[in-house]
Chain A
């Protein structure tokens, strides 16, 4: 249980394809807890991917339930291990920022609705349909597992400074 520092670009781990979690055990559980602690501690974050805290492992946590955009449409706190996006539908542009790339935001087009298959914290197989902001957040975090940053997907770059709430 620990809040970990967010790794910033140009650390090469952010551009590395992460390895699948081989088994659900104490190690994977400790990583999940660190991800949750780090997400909650940052206050404004709605998701963290394992490489952002230095673990090259296919695990992300997402929780948009506390944000204005995701409040009314979410699955609560999600622990997503070895995810695969099975289906994507629709497209929407949202201006994204990332804790690992401070001071940049850019317009990114993402699917509005996705079906994701993953293992939860206990290793149970799950399939959920996410939409709206939650779907955007999941896609952004899963991109981290493939070494893809929002900068690889932006259509225009703005050097807006984040508003931290």
Chain B
């Protein structure tokens, strides 16, 4: 079965999910993984789809035209075989909270340090909060450490970043417990 990644974004209003999923249901698409959220005033949907007969973008024809007519942007990507499968990461999983007075480069500097250590970011959210006069930037990162790297080592790494960026950063293990 072929898999596709569908992203849709547009000004938030009630009914977007129903409008999108009605189309997917009517053309016989299965929704596998998906995440949908509000970012600013926009509603963003990211979905991994499968279809038993469709193999490329053309198979969908103009199925998404009604969405674009109501102001939504639609992007469809055909996945290579196996592109829907999540690689198993074996290391510790940690949550990194970063927050402080807003300034350029917070995301980049933290991501750079993590990337240099082959830490795999699996989830990242940022939000600008606080008043217009004193904006506060908050970033939450979930990341899988390479095998052999400990949460303590990442905690040490962020110590230097805290100084450099003048923000607060905390790291904690969120490796799941199996019961």
Task: Check if A94 sits within 8 Å of B86, measured CB to CB.
Answer: no
For B177, what are the chain A residues with a Cβ–Cβ distance below 8 Å? Answer: 46, 67, 69, 94-97, 133, 136-137
Task: Check if A137 sits within 8 Å of B86, measured CB to CB.
Answer: no
For A162, what are the chain B residues with a Cβ–Cβ distance below 8 Å? Answer: 176, 178
Chain B 82-123 residues near chain A, CB threshold 8 A: 86, 88-90, 93, 122-123
Q: What interface size band does chain A fall in?
A: 20 to 34
Report the Cα distance A69→B178, complex, angstroms.
12
A140 contacts chain B at the CB level, 8 A cutoff = yes
Report the Cα distance A136→B123, complex, angstroms.
25
Task: Check if A96 sits within 8 Å of B86, measured CB to CB.
Answer: no
For B122, what are the chain A residues with a Cβ–Cβ distance below 8 Å? Answer: 160
Per DSSP, are chain A's interface residues mostly helix, strand or loop, or mixed? mixed
Task: Check if A46 sits within 8 Å of B179, measured CB to CB.
Answer: yes
- What 1/0 mask marks residues of chain B from 58 to 76 whose CB sits below 8 Å from any chain A CB? 0000000000000000000
For B178, what are the chain A residues with a Cβ–Cβ distance below 8 Å? Answer: 44-46, 96-99, 162
A105 contacts chain B at the CB level, 8 A cutoff = yes
For A95, what are the chain B residues with a Cβ–Cβ distance below 8 Å? Answer: 174-177
For B153, what are the chain A residues with a Cβ–Cβ distance below 8 Å? Answer: none
For B123, what are the chain A residues with a Cβ–Cβ distance below 8 Å? Answer: 158
Chain A 47-91 residues near chain B, CB threshold 8 A: 47, 67, 69
Partner of B175, one of A46, A47, A159, A163: A163
A141 contacts chain B at the CB level, 8 A cutoff = yes
* Complex: chain B residue closest to A137, CB-CB: B179
For B174, what are the chain A residues with a Cβ–Cβ distance below 8 Å? Answer: 95
For A158, what are the chain B residues with a Cβ–Cβ distance below 8 Å? Answer: 123, 142
B53 contacts chain A at the CB level, 8 A cutoff = no
For A140, what are the chain B residues with a Cβ–Cβ distance below 8 Å? Answer: 179
Task: Check if A97 sits within 8 Å of B86, measured CB to CB.
Answer: no
B164 contacts chain A at the CB level, 8 A cutoff = no
* Complex: chain B residue closest to A105, CB-CB: B176
Report the Cα distance A162→B177, complex, angstroms.
9
Task: Check if A163 sits within 8 Å of B86, measured CB to CB.
Answer: no
Q: State how many angstroms separate the Cβ of B88 from the closest Cβ of chain A.
A: 5
Report the Cα distance A9→B73, complex, angstroms.
38
Residue of A47, A158, A159 ringed by the most chain B CB atoms within 10 A: A158
Chain A 9-58 residues near chain B, CB threshold 8 A: 44-47
* Complex: chain A residue closest to B89, CB-CB: A161
- What 1/0 mask marks residues of chain A from 104 to 132 whose CB sits below 8 Å from any chain B CB? 01000000000000000000000000000
A-B contact pairs, 18 of them (CB 8 A): A45-B179, A46-B177, A46-B178, A46-B179, A69-B177, A95-B175, A96-B177, A97-B176, A97-B179, A98-B179, A136-B179, A140-B179, A141-B179, A150-B179, A159-B33, A160-B176, A161-B86, A163-B90
The 7 A-B residue pairs with the shortest CB-CB distance, nearest first, are A105-B176, A140-B179, A95-B176, A97-B178, A97-B176, A161-B88, A95-B174
